[in-house]
A and B are shown apart, each in its own frame.
Chain A
Amino acid sequence: MDHALIEEDALLELYAQGRLDPEVEEELEAHLVGCATCQEELIAVRGLARGVRRVASEEAARLVVQAGIASRLRRTFSGPGRWGWIAAAALVVFGALAATYAARMASENRELRAIVAAQGPGEGTGDAEGARTPPETPGDQSERDRLAALERSLPAAVGTVVLLTEVRGADDTPPSVERATVGGPFALAVYILDDPRFSSYRMEVVDEDGRIAWQRSGVTPNAFEALMATFTPEFFPPGKYQLRISGLPDGGEAEPLESYPFEVR
């Protein structure tokens, strides 16, 4: 099989996704088995595809984590008073977010591009693609206003999200939570790929002395593969902690998976 054809028709990309016609696939495989160049290319395609999915999952998890905090706020501040109103306002903001996104998801991609373009004047496609964006409508203006309001509101409404990662060495500083500045509930979140061996997970925070400061079992990853727990700033005294994640199989013993350090100051 000709390399030019493979490049021009993106055959390796389509092959990796299982979207080639059987005859073409068979022909490509016959070539692939003996072609080191195409093997390297295919490995790159797969790595890129896997990375794109993981980046998307991580970014989506961040958004979902933020949305989860809104829900937590509603429960925490359900009574009347200033905080109740703030929580209600936050929920309205997130309701607008969900409605906006849901509407946009159901709509055509051209509509989506219009919103993206409206959101980022000067940061659009940067080429002739802008000319293909449909003319702005009153609905687009409304969506733009709502998204702009959301964007302004997000940092104040959701407080702090601490996305924990593994610490690889002495040079890698664990994330920290500043009690004085966090300004409200904060969330600890970890990215996790659901493992079929486990029906749920246990999240456990231990202090420097190994004492359990908080524990919750039966937690499952949300739709975007994040485990999350929300706390008030006063919940943890200043110190160093570890968030430990264990897998819980049905009828079996917990299996320790990952440990994520963080610090409360």
Chain B
Amino acid sequence: MTSSSPEAHLIERIEAGDRQAEDLLVERFGRGVALVLDRHSSWRGEVDDLFQETFRVAIEKLRRGELRDPEKLGAFLAQIARYLSLDAARKQIRRKTEPDAERVEREIAPRGNPLSDLLERENTRLVRRVLAELDNDRDREVLFRFYLAEEDRREIARDLGLDNLQLNRVLYRARKRYQTLYQERLSGSRPMPPAPHEGRSHRTLLLGLVSLLATLAQVVQPW
């Protein structure tokens, strides 16, 4: 990377005290930093706080010229975000409060807000559509076992007689289909179809439930 690369130019401007460049830094890397923070933080409010703190620390360091290789700007920001998240987690442990995985999920998809509730329902319909469009029950089982039961990929692959590549292809296809439907939904290019389960037979639903309960059993083990 030369000094004329966008990152190098951005850093030079920040070192020179250019406030617009600081805004540009947040604009360009904000979503990535938020995703990293979200991965390491336990609740949404904490992410918001750490987001501010990450860029405050990063900008101070950049002003002082502490980042020597502009090519490492992404890694630099990710490292600060991760460090702050871990530090916050350590403080939380000292306060003897346990991170709550359920809370994380609720904070990622907060309730009590009609818009977010609506978005969650739309998301669920999208996923129902993706599940209905999968080629076969085996692929649905892959998704349930991977995303719901969070089973190890190798175990899933072994049980279903797949190799890792085949399993990853199932995950990849499902994700791509979800992305396509999501983008179509965002652009409003086509109306949302009815939830597929509404038209499915009782027998098919029962089959799905048997498969589903098997995965649930490994998560909640209610019996």
A and B found bound together: yes
| Chain A residues engaging chain B, CB cutoff 8 angstroms | 7-10, 13-19, 26, 29-36, 39-56, 58-60, 63, 98, 101-102, 104-106, 109-110, 112-113, 115-116, 119-120, 123-129, 132, 147, 151, 154-155, 165-166, 168, 193-196, 223, 257
Could you write out 10 A-B pairs with CB less than 8 Å apart?
A13-B175, A26-B78, A32-B78, A33-B75, A44-B179, A51-B128, A59-B212, A112-B210, A120-B137, A132-B160
Q: Which partner residue on chain B sits nearest A14 by CB separation?
A: B153
Given contacts A10-B168, A29-B78, contact A54 B120 (CB under 8 A): yes
A10 to B216, CA, bound (A): 23
Tell me whether B39 and A18 are in contact (CB under 8 A).
yes
Contact call A32/B137, Cβ cutoff below 8 A: no
Top 5 closest pairs, chain A to chain B, by CB:
A51-B127, A105-B217, A30-B75, A33-B32, A34-B74
Report how far A16 CA is from B38 CA in the complex, Å: 10
A residues less than 8 Å from B103 (CB atoms): 196
A48 touches B127 (CB 8 A): yes
A30 touches B74 (CB 8 A): yes
B108 contacts A125, CB within 8 Å? Answer: no
B208 near A59 with CB under 8 A, answer yes
Contact A151 B202 (CB under 8 A): yes
Q: Is the CB of A104 within 8 A of B137?
A: no
In the bound complex, residues from chain B placing their C-beta under 8 Å from that of A13 are 146, 171, 175
User: Once bound together, how far apart are the Cα atoms of A9 and B137, in whole Å?
Assistant: 23
Known contacts: A47-B182, A125-B136. The answer to whether A33 contacts B74 by CB under 8 A is yes
A105-B217, A112-B210 known; A58 vs B135 contact (CB < 8 Å): no
A14-B153, A60-B216, A125-B138 given; name 18 further pairs at CB < 8 Å.
Answer: A17-B150, A29-B36, A32-B32, A36-B31, A44-B178, A46-B108, A48-B147, A50-B120, A51-B127, A56-B144, A56-B215, A101-B210, A104-B214, A105-B217, A110-B159, A112-B214, A119-B207, A126-B135
Given A56-B216, A116-B137, A48–B174 Cβ distance below 8 Å?
A: yes
* B31 nearest CB across to chain A (Å): 5
A123 to B100, CA, bound (A): 40
Contact of A104 among B127, B146, B210 (CB under 8 A): B210
Complex CA gap A11/B29 in Å reads 20
Query: Are A151 and B203 interface neighbours, CB within 8 A?
Result: yes
- What is the total number of residues of chain B having a CB less than 8 Å from a CB of chain A? 83
Name B's A-contacting residues (CB within 8 A).
28-29, 31-33, 35-36, 39, 72-75, 77-79, 81-82, 100, 102-103, 105-106, 108-109, 111-112, 117-118, 120-121, 123-124, 126-128, 130-131, 135-138, 143-144, 146-148, 150, 153, 159-161, 165, 167-168, 171-172, 174-175, 178-179, 182, 197, 202-218, 220-223
Interface of A is mostly: helix
Whether the Cβ atoms of A195 and B210 lie closer than 8 Å is: no
Closest residue on chain B to residue A193 by CB atoms: B111
Chain B residue at smallest Cβ distance from A125: B138
**Taking A48-B175, A51-B124 as contacts, is the C-beta distance between A124 and B137 under 8 angstroms?**
yes
Known: A109-B159, A110-B159, A132-B161. A120 touches B203 (CB 8 A): yes
Contacting pair A32 B35 (CB below 8 A): yes
Collect the chain A residues with CB atoms within 8 Å of residue B172's CB.
Answer: 7, 10
